[in-house]
């Protein structure tokens, strides 16, 4: 019992604690999982475009607490990671705070948390960055320099362009293009693989073009970026150097070759050296020299230098002259001999150095050579008129000498510069501009030949004199680019204006200059073609008031049409040749006290001071009553005259009218003076009312304005009169209009008497008569008579019978009557006719052509049928 009593309180305590814990149990908050396509939840598997602007609210963290407690949200990143998002703790709104770049980071690990203040739940989620087309293609192997042999076949691939685009999808797919302004380019590229090939039908040619620049464009497939579709591209340049191939044989330089063997020479002596080079200059091959024939085993040649050497003593030589065939072959990359060329080397056996060099002409030794040529020959041209050769009769080293040309500047050049024994001397033009006839009509040079390796240093000298012929290489040049001339107006025709000069440094006929003028301002001027004197046309009348400035071009031309231009400016000087002239509109005027009146004179001279006018009062009666402004011509009363009473006291006349003698003088030299008499009526201002009076007061000094107003009033009245007349005419015309004929037809007689005279058979005739009735003339004209009477007019021409037989008339009706006429037509009368035929008889002209008769008959028949139908409808 005791134990039981102790256990019961313990169980009560445990039960109370369990009850308290059950009532205060707190569960952790949690996120809603709305899936990857939702914009709210726990951010798991959320995807975001990399071009999303910073500051965009991209997501809302959304969760709840089981107990309904308020929750707050948190968002953190791995330590050391860049924080890209920020969350609002209360609302859960996630905002982008840094720019995204999928190419740098395509997945973002984020720790999101939710807490109710006591419990906190943290989840690690991944946010995927979606790609946009924001990366340009990048070339991996461009720019580059590529060597391609010119023998490469068309269609061969020469290079593979590689580029990458970090974007995915269509934005990362690349196509290649060639950007070139040359539509006929030699290269093409595969759009997908980037393989660059030589186009079919195209070949490379080193001799035409050694380098090609190919611009390659890589373009992606396009994609969206910031809401817009864009295609990105990049370009780079591939430099293709064309490598020359061996397709040209060697070329010997300086041929023909001459060498000498002296009597003192020994085996191994160098006789002559030939030189050849590969004709393919871009990538020349080495040259291999060999003797093809003619050496007779006494000469050998160095295979690399081309030096020909003596192998025996001169005394053992059996011939005095040897013609050796030297072969120059190209050495291929593998050492094989390829293309070759052959030249002849002439070797002569000579004795000791006992002969100096000697110059030879066409006729033997010569120390003076002359040539006549035109100036400015092309550079590099050979002076073929100089037939010069040089020879040293010695052999070996004794016959080796240098050639040098001494003269003004570096105008000419001599080839060869080193000679062994004998050579043909060639003179080349080096500076064409210095060979100028206008600078010097002849050129003198010294041609020197000096031995090189002999102690005697024998030499020879020859004079070269070149006489130059002039060419038309210069255009005439004016002494000035423009000429300014001044000539007084009213100068007589043929007056000299200015003399232009131009010089042509060429000689003879080429130096003769011919002058001419042209241009819009040249009509009044002529020029002497030889002297350049410009003068006015004989009929020209220069007037500064009409036109004071002229300009035109003068042309200096030689015999072959080379020319130059200069501009001529001619100013017509104004003379004081017009006196002032008064405007007659101001010679009679009315002056209101307190207001000025103005007179005006015009001087037609063109320039100041000839057209500046000064006004003055010469005479007035009585005197000392008016003042005048010397510049404007305004006349005013003296300041003390302020009313008509003062004026009346000055003059005894009832009418206050003054005759004032006004003088107008210009400021020219000599000065012109014109006087006139101005009548001035003086009156006192009258107070006027109304706008018209105000207008008159404002326009009292401008009568043209008043006349314009009157003209406007008259024009307005004329326009109103024309409008009224037009309306009246139209109304009268409508009232007098002739009414249509059908209205007149309706006013035929209502009662007719039918008189039939029927015989015993159907062949008898009948007669129709109309009872006369007054007919009103509706149109008030003379187209109808006042009364309609039956008249027996002369019978008209007979018409053809109607097309229908008589039995076609409606039964029980009489035949149609011919007497119903329009008031505008002549009256018809019935005459006896056959019972089977009714003929209308209008009064017609008796004389008609056959065609008119037929037409008239047809019209009559039509009228008859209309009457029949009308009668049938009435009965």
3-state SS, 667-678, equals CCCCCCEEEEEE
Question: Which range among 87-96, 695-704, 829-838 shows the weakest confidence by mean pLDDT?
Answer: 829-838
On whether the CB atoms of residues 571 and 549 are closer than 8 A, the answer is yes
Question: Residue 135: in which H helix or E strand, if any?
Answer: none
Q: Which two tokens stand for residue 338?
A: 């390829």
Ramachandran category for residue 68: left, alpha or beta (phi over 0 → left; psi -120 to 50 → alpha): left
Cross-strand bridge partners of residue 386: none
- Looking at residue 810, its pLDDT comes to 42
**Cis peptide, bond prior to residue 143, ω within 30 of zero:** yes
**Better pLDDT: 318 or 115:** 115
pLDDT of amino acid 719: 92
DSSP 3-state assignment of 148? Answer: strand
The torsion region of residue 561 among left (phi > 0), alpha (psi -120 to 50) and beta comes to left
Q: Quote the tokens at residue 537.
A: 């046309």
Q: What is the pLDDT of residue 15?
A: 59
The predicted-structure confidence for 413-446, as pLDDT tens digits, reads as follows 898 989 888 888 988 998 888 888 888 888 899 9
Average pLDDT over residues 146-152: 86
Distance between CA 483 and CA 525 in Å, rounded? 14
Model confidence at 780, in pLDDT bands (50, 70, 90)? very low
Helices (H), 613-702: 644-650, 691-698
Distance CA 769, CA 841 (A): 13
Number of helices followed by number of strands (H, E) in the chain: 6, 58
Half-sphere exposure of 306 (CA within 13 A, CB side): 22
277 sits in the region (left: phi over 0; alpha: psi -120 to 50; else beta) called beta
Structure tokens, 506 = 């060429």
CB 204 within 8 A of CB 147: no
Q: CA-CA distances (angstroms) from residue 486 to 108, 309, 499?
A: 90, 86, 12
Split at pLDDT 50, 70, 90, the class of 767 is very low
**What token pair was written down for 234?**
């990049």
b vs e for 423-439, b when ≥16 Cβ sit within 10 Å of the residue's Cβ?
bebebebeeeebbbbee
% residues pLDDT > 70 (the chain): 78
Q: What is the predicted pLDDT for the residue at 804?
A: 40
| Whole-number pLDDT of residue 642 | 78
Query: Using one digit for the tens of pLDDT, what is the confidence trace for 29-69?
Result: 888 877 767 778 888 888 888 888 988 888 888 888 888 88
Burial group, residue 483, by CB count within 10 angstroms (0-12, 13-18, 19+): buried
Band of the pLDDT at 16, cuts 50, 70, 90?
A: low
For residue 465, what are the contacts with CB-CB under 8 A and spacing of at least 6?
368, 369, 370, 371, 442, 443, 444
The number of C-alpha atoms within 13 Å of 350 and in the hemisphere containing its C-beta is: 25
- Give the angle subtended at the CA of 72 by the CAs of 68 and 75, to the nearest 5°: 140
Q: For strand 233-243 and strand 211-220, is the pairing parallel, antiparallel, or unpaired?
A: antiparallel
**Band of residue 801 on the pLDDT scale cut at 50, 70, 90:** very low
Q: Check if the beta carbon of residue 195 is closer than 8 Å to that of residue 189.
A: yes
pTM: 0.35
What does pLDDT average to over the chain? Answer: 77
The strand ranges marked E within 558-633 are 563-573, 581-582, 588-592, 597-598, 601-602, 613-620, 626-628
Q: What is the pLDDT of residues 355-396, one digit of tens each?
A: 789 999 888 898 899 888 888 888 888 888 888 898 887 767
| Lookup: tokens for 847 | 């004389």
Tell me what pLDDT residue 736 has: 54
Per-residue pLDDT, 834: 35
- 307: pLDDT strictly greater than 90: yes
**Is the separation of the CB atoms in 463 and 367 below 8 Å?**
yes
Predicted local confidence at residue 701, as pLDDT:
60
Q: What gap in Å lies between CA 36 and CA 39, rounded to an integer?
A: 8
Relative to beta strand 138-139, strand 163-164 is antiparallel
Confidence of residue 172 (pLDDT cuts 50, 70, 90): confident
875 and 816 in contact (C-beta within 8 Å)? no
Could you tell me the pLDDT band of residue 744, with boundaries at 50, 70 and 90?
A: very low
The pair of three-digit structure tokens given for residue 706, joined into one six-digit string: 């008043």
Q: What is the pLDDT of residue 803?
A: 41
Q: Go through the chain and tell me how many residues it has.
A: 875
* Residue that has been written with the tokens 């070949």 in this structure: 203
List, as own/partner pairs, every contact residues 510-515 make where C-beta atoms lie below 8 angstroms and the sequence separation is at least 24, other chains included.
510/470, 510/471, 510/472, 510/558, 510/559, 510/560, 511/558, 512/558, 512/559, 513/476, 513/556, 513/557, 513/558, 514/556, 514/557, 514/558, 515/554, 515/555, 515/556, 515/557
DSSP assignment of 386-397, as one string?
A: --EEEE--S-GG
Q: Which of these, 233, 224, 229, 234, lies nearest to 50 by C-alpha position?
A: 224
Give me the pLDDT at residue 523, please: 86
Q: For residues 361 and 806, which has the higher predicted lDDT (pLDDT)?
A: 361
Q: 779 is written with which tokens? A: 């149109």
> How large a percentage of the chain has pLDDT more than 90?
11
Mean pLDDT of 789-796: 40
What is the average pLDDT across 792-804? 41
Alpha-carbon Rg of the chain, whole angstroms? Answer: 64
pLDDT, one tens digit per residue, over 635-688 is 888 878 777 777 777 776 666 777 888 888 988 888 888 888 888 888 876 655
Please state, in angstroms and rounded to a whole number, the distance separating the CA atoms of residues 589 and 593: 13
| Burial label, 102 (beta-carbon count in 10 A; 0-12, 13-18, 19+) | buried
**Higher-pLDDT residue of 752, 585:** 585
Give tens-digit pLDDT for 538-555.
888 888 878 888 999 999
Mean pLDDT of 802-831: 39
Record the tokens describing residue 44, joined without a space: 């798991």
The first and second tokens of residue 64, run together, are: 């709840």
- The torsion angles phi and psi of 379, rounded to 5 degrees, stand at -65, 135
Q: Which residue has the tokens 């290649």?
A: 176
How would residue 874 be classed by pLDDT, with cut points 50, 70 and 90?
low
The token duo for 851 is 């065609």
pLDDT band per the 50, 70, 90 thresholds, residue 697: low
**Angstrom distance (rounded) from CA 789 to CA 385:** 130
Tokens 């009348």 locate to: 541
- Structural domains in the chain, sorted by start: 30-130 (2.60.40.60), 138-243 (2.60.40.60), 251-350 (2.60.40.60), 358-469 (2.60.40.60), 477-573 (2.60.40.60), 581-684 (2.60.40.60)
pLDDT at 338: 83
Element (H, E) at 764: none
Q: What's the pLDDT at 710?
A: 87
Query: From CA 68, how far away is CA 114, in angstroms rounded?
Result: 13
Integer Cα distance of 637 and 595 in angstroms: 8
The overall longest dimension of the chain from CA atoms, in Å, is 177
pLDDT in tens, 242-298: 887 777 788 888 888 988 887 778 888 888 899 998 877 767 888 899 988 988 888
Q: Identify the residue whose tokens are 């062949």.
A: 763
Would you state the structure tokens that stand for residue 647, as one six-digit string? 């004026």
Q: Map tokens 């990105």 to a residue.
A: 232
| Per-residue pLDDT at 695 | 64
How far, in Å, CA of 744 to CA of 747, rounded? 5
| Section 801-828 average pLDDT | 39
Q: Return the sign of the alpha-carbon dihedral for residues 412, 415, 419, 424.
A: negative
The single-letter DSSP state of residue 353 is S
Residue 1: strand pairing partners:
none
Report d(CA 299, CA 325) in Å as an integer: 11
**Res 322 pLDDT > 70:** yes
- Provide the pLDDT confidence category of residue 859 given band limits of 50, 70 and 90: low
Predicted pLDDT at 835: 33
Asked if residue 478 lies in contact with residue 564, where contact means CB atoms within 8 angstroms, the answer is yes
Reduce the secondary structure of 495-546 to three states and give it as a string. CEEEECCEECCCCHHHHCCEEEEECCCCCCEEECCCCCEEEECCCCCCCCCC
Instruction: Tell me: pLDDT of 533 over 90.
Output: yes
* Distance, CA of 168 to CA of 220 (rounded, Å): 10
**Contact (Cβ atoms closer than 8 angstroms) between residue 674 and residue 668:** no
Contacts by residues 207-210 (CB-CB < 8 Å, ≥ 24 positions apart): 209/242, 210/241, 210/242, 210/282
């Amino acid at each position: 019992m005791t134990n039981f009593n102790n256990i019961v309180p313990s169980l009560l305590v445990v039960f109370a604690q369990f009850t308290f814990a059950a009532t205060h149990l707190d569960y952790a908050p949690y996120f809603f999982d709305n899936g990857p396509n939702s914009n709210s939840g726990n951010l798991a598997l959320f995807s975001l475009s990399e071009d999303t602007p910073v500051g965009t609210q991209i997501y809302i963290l959304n969760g709840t607490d089981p107990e309904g407690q308020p929750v707050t949200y948190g968002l953190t990143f791995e330590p050391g990671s860049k924080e890209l998002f920020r969350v609002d703790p209360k609302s859960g709104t996630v905002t982008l705070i840094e720019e995204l770049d999928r190419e740098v980071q395509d997945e973002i690990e984020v720790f999101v948390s939710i807490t109710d203040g006591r419990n906190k739940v943290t989840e690690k989620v991944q946010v995927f960055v979606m790609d946009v087309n924001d990366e340009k293609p990048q070339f991996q192997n461009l720019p580059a320099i590529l060597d391609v042999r010119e023998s490469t076949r068309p269609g061969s691939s020469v290079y593979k362009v590689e580029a990458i685009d970090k974007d995915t999808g269509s934005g990362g797919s690349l196509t290649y293009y060639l950007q070139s302004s040359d539509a006929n380019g030699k290269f093409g590229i595969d759009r997908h693989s980037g393989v660059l090939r030589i186009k079919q039908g195209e070949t490379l040619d080193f001799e035409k073009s050694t380098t090609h620049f190919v611009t390659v464009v890589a373009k992606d497939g396009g994609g969206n970026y910031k809401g817009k579709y864009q295609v990105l591209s990049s370009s780079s340049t591939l430099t293709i150097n064309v490598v020359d191939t061996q397709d040209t044989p060697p070329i010997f330089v300086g041929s023909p070759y001459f060498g000498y063997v002296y009597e003192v020479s020994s085996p191994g002596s160098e006789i002559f050296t030939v030189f050849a080079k590969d004709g393919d200059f871009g990538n020349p091959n080495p040259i291999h020299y060999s003797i093809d024939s003619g050496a007779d085993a006494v000469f050998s040649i160095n295979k690399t230098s081309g030096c020909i050497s003596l192998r025996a003593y001169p005394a053992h030589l059996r011939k005095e002259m040897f013609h050796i065939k030297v072969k120059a072959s190209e050495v291929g990359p593998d050492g094989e001999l390829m293309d070759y060329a052959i030249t002849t080397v002439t070797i002569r056996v000579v004795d000791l150095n006992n002969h100096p060099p000697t110059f030879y002409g066409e006729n033997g030794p010569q120390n003076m050579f002359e040539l006549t040529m035109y100036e400015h020959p092309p550079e590099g041209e050979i002076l073929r008129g100089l037939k010069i050769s040089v020879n040293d009769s010695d052999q070996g080293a004794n016959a080796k000498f240098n050639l040098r040309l001494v003269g003004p500047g570096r105008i000419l050049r001599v080839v060869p510069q080193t000679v062994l024994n004998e050579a043909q001397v060639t003179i080349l033009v080096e500076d064409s501009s210095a060979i100028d006839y206008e600078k010097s009509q002849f050129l003198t040079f010294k041609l020197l030949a000096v031995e090189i390796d002999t102690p005697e240093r024998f030499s020879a000298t020859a004079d070269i004199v070149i006489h130059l012929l002039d060419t038309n290489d210069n255009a005439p040049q004016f002494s000035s680019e423009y000429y300014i001339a001044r000539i007084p107006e009213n100068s007589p025709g043929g007056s000299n204006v200015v003399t232009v000069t131009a010089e042509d440094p060429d000689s003879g006929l080429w130096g003769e200059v011919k002058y001419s003028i042209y241009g819009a301002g040249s009509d009044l001027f002529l020029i002497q073609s030889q002297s350049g004197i410009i003068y006015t046309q004989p009929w020209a009348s220069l007037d500064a008031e009409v036109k004071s400035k002229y300009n035109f071009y003068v042309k200096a031309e030689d015999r072959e049409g080379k020319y130059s231009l200069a501009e001529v400016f001619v100013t017509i000087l104004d003379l004081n040749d017009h006196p002032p002239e008064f405007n007659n509109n101001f010679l009679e005027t009315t002056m209101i006290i307190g207001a000025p009146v103005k007179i005006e004179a015009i001087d037609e001279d063109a320039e100041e001071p000839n057209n500046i006018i000064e006004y003055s009062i010469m005479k007035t009666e009585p005197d000392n009553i008016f003042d005048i402004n010397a510049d404007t011509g305004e006349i005013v009363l003296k300041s003390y005259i302020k009313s008509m009473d003062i004026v009346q006291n000055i003059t005894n006349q009832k009418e206050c009218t003054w005759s004032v003698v006004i003088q107008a003088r210009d400021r020219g030299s000599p000065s012109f003076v014109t006087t006139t008499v101005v009548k001035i009526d003086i009156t006192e201002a009258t107070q006027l009312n109304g706008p018209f009076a105000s207008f008159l007061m404002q326009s009292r000094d401008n009568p043209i304005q008043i006349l314009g107003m009157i003209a406007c009033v008259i024009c307005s009245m004329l326009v109103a009169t024309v409008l009224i007349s037009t309306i009246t005419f139209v109304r009268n015309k409508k009232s007098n209009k002739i009414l249509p004929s059908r209205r007149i037809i309706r006013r035929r007689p209502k009662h007719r008497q039918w008189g039939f005279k029927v015989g015993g058979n159907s062949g008898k005739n009948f007669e129709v008569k109309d009872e006369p009735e007054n007919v009103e003339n509706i149109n008030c004209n003379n187209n109808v008579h006042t009364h309609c009477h039956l008249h027996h007019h002369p019978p008209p021409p007979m018409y053809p019978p109607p097309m229908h037989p008589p039995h076609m008339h409606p039964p029980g009706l009489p035949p149609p009557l011919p007497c119903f006429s329009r008031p505008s037509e002549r009256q018809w009368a019935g005459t006896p006719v056959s019972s089977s035929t009714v003929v209308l008889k209008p009064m017609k002209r008796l004389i008609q052509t056959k065609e008119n008769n037929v037409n008239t008959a047809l019209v009559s028949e039509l009228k008859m049928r209309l009457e029949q139908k009308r009668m049938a409808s009435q009965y």
